[in-house]
Amino acid sequence: MTTSSSSPLGLHRVIDPPGVLPQAAWQLDPTPAIAADEVRIRVDRLNLDAASYRHLRETYAADPDKIRAAVREIITTRGKMQNPATGSGGMLTGTVEEVGPTSPLGLKPGQRIATLVSLTLTPLAITDGLSRWDTHSEQVPCEGHAILFARSIAAVLPDDLPVPLALAVMDVCGAPALTQRVVKRGSTAVIIGAAGKSGSLSAVAARQAGAAKVIGVVPTEAEAELLRNPAATQSSLVDEIVIADARDPVGLAKKVEEAGGPADVTVVCVDVPGCEGGAILSTTQGGTVIFFSMATSFSAAALGAEGVAADVTMLVGNGYVPGHADLALNLVRTTPALRALFERRVRHEGGQP
Amino acid sequence: MTTSSSSPLGLHRVIDPPGVLPQAAWQLDPTPAIAADEVRIRVDRLNLDAASYRHLRETYAADPDKIRAAVREIITTRGKMQNPATGSGGMLTGTVEEVGPTSPLGLKPGQRIATLVSLTLTPLAITDGLSRWDTHSEQVPCEGHAILFARSIAAVLPDDLPVPLALAVMDVCGAPALTQRVVKRGSTAVIIGAAGKSGSLSAVAARQAGAAKVIGVVPTEAEAELLRNPAATQSSLVDEIVIADARDPVGLAKKVEEAGGPADVTVVCVDVPGCEGGAILSTTQGGTVIFFSMATSFSAAALGAEGVAADVTMLVGNGYVPGHADLALNLVRTTPALRALFERRVRHEGGQP
């Protein structure tokens, strides 16, 4: 299939509907033969998006056979792993198998890589029926292949960090990169879901950007403890901890204010619907809210801000910021408490950190 | 009911579920008796959100009786006009009837006002069954009352502009205000849906902010003609016109580039789903996309940018920017071509400009 009619955006892989970008497509063509500017990856692991994984577990009542069957069905039908209910995908790791002569990605056969573009636009075929996946974790060991386009993003896995750890970090690396870009020296940052993966990275990024105060919001005392003291180190990842239900705007805003808020920058990192109002009410007039959760409702955010006469800048969390993977990996390398929290999260999810 | 237990955000009017903000509530209490910081409005006209109106027309095949019944049912059941399918509302005009002694809005009985907060969070009751509405327009003449909270936003209707015209301008006044804030001198702005109401206002706002080039995207030659020459004045509202389907990312980006793009700032003002990818692809690396359409999908925007490795800042169009109503009304007053276009739109919708 090595052909010159390929598109850097992958348009030539779109089956249905024709002419749309791969992410918007219902079905992609995962044929293994590559175009001149493509790369084929031998896949060894998928890392499902948190919202998608949660939806699958809840829909199939945590039944492993049903969850495996559902994911197999999605991949077979769509030629990619995009959960139709959540619209989200995830990422994958694998080994570079074949590189087209005009690929600009700089990859070489044999390199272990992670894709930093979403599974929602990555042609994918699975050959082992997902039989090795116990479904207790969003990390899915598997066999198959995937295709990268000229304008895809992939990172060579680092030698100095365990693969599941690096994968978990790179999966959410857009959040700390954008947080660091937006937070100004001396400001107050509120991280909603601060003990999670994107949340803890964003908290450390906010501190590194010079925030005078970082307030971490978590739902439970157990999550607060993780943030306070991730695995017996002495440092906390945040300056203040607020235990609150982020879906309760009024309760959240009150507690954030008591902890030193409102925020100049609020970062939403929890994958549950209904957090827009609380984030807006916890942010000062003229401040910024960054929404990283795929559970964010556009209209709830837009109308919510208008409804409380809130002059806040609201950003759609873009998963791509140049240099995001290196930035996030370096935060984990240089912040022992963050690494400890991540290792604990990865262990908890059933991967080997 | 004049009581001191009211909330500036209207929490005391929320029936179901309790404790959420009025916008997020399924049902509000539109009891006419006001709290000490509230204002009651005698309503004379609703202006339905474009996405909501379109949905109603399509769902009920433009049948007036069915559309009226559906809107009546929503208002009666929910105590507010929020279309459950689109999540959106609109705005209203009316006359100030009673002002609580501690209301901070500065209103006086007898003033004609428009609400600048959404109908999705405004307690509303209708008494005339919407019998005067022919359903051929999103502007709904009616009788009833609505409640404003302490932190609502209302604007006194100007003396020098016809009411339906002022109403149509104020309904979308957040778009030009945010556009003017974001566009920098010498930049290139692309307005998707430039011949619409929020689009034409945003185009003029971009020019006033100093954009070197304003490119207007419209779907048809008829819309292009509106933009080129709204009612026989000589000036065009934009510098370049692109006729393209905004849902076709690849086709749109190509035409925008031919017209002098990509954009530093792209403003999405069309109420159709699927415009995220085209807006992103039409914007230069490091540029900004402002989404004003309620049909915007959060995940399509976030994943779409990541999927094409686009380092663009994406803003959720906040309907509230301080001074937005005055800014928009002044653009219409001082730009004859814009006023002509608006008057034509309002006439077309069945209102009297």
Cα B287 to Cα B256: distance, rounded to the nearest angstrom: 15
A316 CB neighbours in chain B (<8 A) are 291, 298, 301-302, 305, 314-316
The shortest CB-CB distance from A318 to any of B297, B306, B320 is to B306
- ipTM of the assembly? 0.82
- Compute the C-alpha angle B43/B44/B48, nearest 5°: 90
Please report, as a single letter, which amino acid is at residue B166. Answer: A
Contacts of A307 (CB under 8 A, 6+ apart): B21, B22, B23, B117, B118, B120, B121
A86 CB neighbours in chain B (<8 A) are 299
Burial class (CB in 10 A: 0-12, 13-18, 19+), A212: middle
Nearest Cα residue in chain B from A90 = B303
The shortest CB-CB distance from A274 to any of B24, B298, B315 is to B24
Give the number of other Cβ atoms within 10 Å of residue A164's Cβ: 22
Query: Left, alpha or beta for A286 (phi > 0: left; psi -120 to 50: alpha)?
Result: left
Give the number of other Cβ atoms within 10 Å of residue A127's Cβ: 9
A9 CB neighbours in chain B (<8 A) are 250, 308
CB contact under 8 A, A251 and B307: no
Ranges assigned E (strand) in chain A: 14-16, 27-28, 39-48, 90-99, 112-115, 124-126, 139-148, 154-156, 188-192, 213-218, 240-243, 263-268, 283-291, 313-316
Distance linking the first and last C-alpha atoms of chain B: 39
Nearest Cα residue in chain A from B293 = A299
Nearest Cα residue in chain A from B11 = A250
Cα A263 to Cα A285: distance, rounded to the nearest angstrom: 9
**Each residue's pLDDT tens digit, A21-34:** 898 899 999 999 99
The shortest CB-CB distance from A320 to any of B294, B311, B319 is to B311
Nearest Cα residue in chain A from B173 = A306
What torsion do the CA atoms of B249, B255, B257, B259 make, to the nearest 10 degrees? -150
Confidence of residue A3 (pLDDT cuts 50, 70, 90): very low
Please report, as a single letter, which amino acid is at residue B177. Answer: A
A294 CB neighbours in chain B (<8 A) are 298-299, 302
Digit-by-digit pLDDT tens for chain B (353 residues) are 444 478 889 999 999 998 888 988 999 999 999 999 999 999 999 999 889 999 999 999 999 999 999 999 999 999 999 999 999 899 899 999 999 999 999 999 999 999 988 899 999 999 999 999 999 999 899 999 999 999 888 999 999 999 889 988 998 999 999 999 999 999 999 999 999 999 999 999 999 999 999 999 999 999 999 888 765 555 789 999 999 999 999 899 999 999 999 999 999 999 899 999 999 999 999 999 999 998 999 988 998 898 888 999 999 999 888 889 999 999 999 999 999 999 988 887 654 43
- Taking alpha carbons only, the member of A137, A78, A84, A173 closest to residue B299 is A84
Contacts of A105 (CB under 8 A, 6+ apart): A39, A99, A148, A150, A152, A154
B310 CB neighbours in chain A (<8 A) are 318, 320
β-strand pairing of B154-156 with B112-115: antiparallel
pLDDT (0 to 100) of residue B1 = 44
Cα B302 to Cα B311: distance, rounded to the nearest angstrom: 11
Distance linking the first and last C-alpha atoms of chain A: 39
Smallest CA–CA separation between B33 and chain A, in Å? 21
Cα A317 to Cα A94: distance, rounded to the nearest angstrom: 26
